[in-house]
Structure 1
Amino acid sequence: MGDELQEAVTRAAREWGPDKLSDGERDAIDKALKEGRYWLARLLEREARGRFVERRVSDQFKHLYDFSRNKGVDVIDPKTGCRYEILSGTASNLARHGRRLSGEVFRMLTF
């Protein structure tokens, strides 16, 4: 099932575009740009993209898996106990998740 999750993550990432931003996300990005905080605007957009991908995959597989951003990893297969983390695959994203989940064993689902 991990391969199916990976395919779903890849498909969802391809669907992403700035048109998928919520009004609040767009406002926060615009504010950061107006303040000259381009790094923050880029970070906010990447985080919005990650939430979009997670939501899409969750909507597709929530009947099979436990999706929760509050349990450490993003996805747990209740039948096998396998754990999955949805990651953008950037160096900073991998480093942050590596520190946060240093005691976990999980499969990375990157986009």
Structure 2
Amino acid sequence: MGDQLQEAVTRAANEWGPDKLSRNERSAINDAVKKGEYWLARLLEREARGRFVQSRVKKQFEQHYDFSLSKGTDVVDPATNRRYEILSGTESNLGRHGRRMAGELFRMLTF
């Protein structure tokens, strides 16, 4: 099932575009740009993309897996207890998750 999750993550990431931003996300990004905080605008956009991907994958697989998108690993297969984490694959994202979840064994689903 991990390969199916990876395919779903890749598909969802390819569907994402700036048109998928919520009004609040777009406003926060625009505010950051106005303040010259381009790094923050880019971070907010990447986070929005991640939430979009997670949401799409959850909708597709929530009948098969346990999803906890705000703490611990993102996805747990209750039948095998295998754990999956949906990651953007950027250096900062991988580093942050690596430090936060150093004691957990999980498969990375990157986009």
TM-score (norm 2): 0.99
Indicate whether 1:72 and 2:72 are aligned.
yes
> Which secondary structure state, in structure 1, belongs to the residue aligned with residue 25 of structure 2?
helix
Could you say which residue in structure 1 is the equivalent of 2:59? Answer: 59
Could you tell me how far apart the structure 2 residues matched to 1:58 and 1:33 are? 31
Task: List alignment gaps of at least 5 residues for structure 1.
Answer: none
Could you tell me how far apart the structure 2 residues matched to 1:93 and 1:49 are? 13
> Which secondary structure state, in structure 1, belongs to the residue aligned with residue 12 of structure 2?
helix
Alignment RMSD, CA only?
Answer: 0.6
Could you say which residue in structure 2 is the equivalent of 1:27? Answer: 27
Aligned ranges for residues 1-111 of structure 1 at < 5 Å? 1-111=1-111
The alignment-based identity, stated in percent, is 74
Could you tell me how far apart the structure 2 residues matched to 1:107 and 1:32 are? 33
State the number of aligned residues: 111
Contact 2:54 2:69 in 1 (8 A): no
Q: CA deviation at 1:70?
A: 3.5
> Which secondary structure state, in structure 1, belongs to the residue aligned with residue 102 of structure 2?
coil
Contact 2:88 2:110 in 1 (8 A): yes
TM-score (norm 1): 0.99
Could you tell me how far apart the structure 2 residues matched to 1:106 and 1:96 are? 14
4+ runs of 1 displaced by more than 2 Å?
Answer: none
Q: CA deviation at 1:71?
A: 3.8
Encode CA deviations 1:29-65: one digit per residue, 9 max, x unaligned: 0000000000000000000000000000000000000
- Choose 61-70 or 46-55, whichever is displaced more: 61-70
Q: CA deviation at 1:84?
A: 0.1
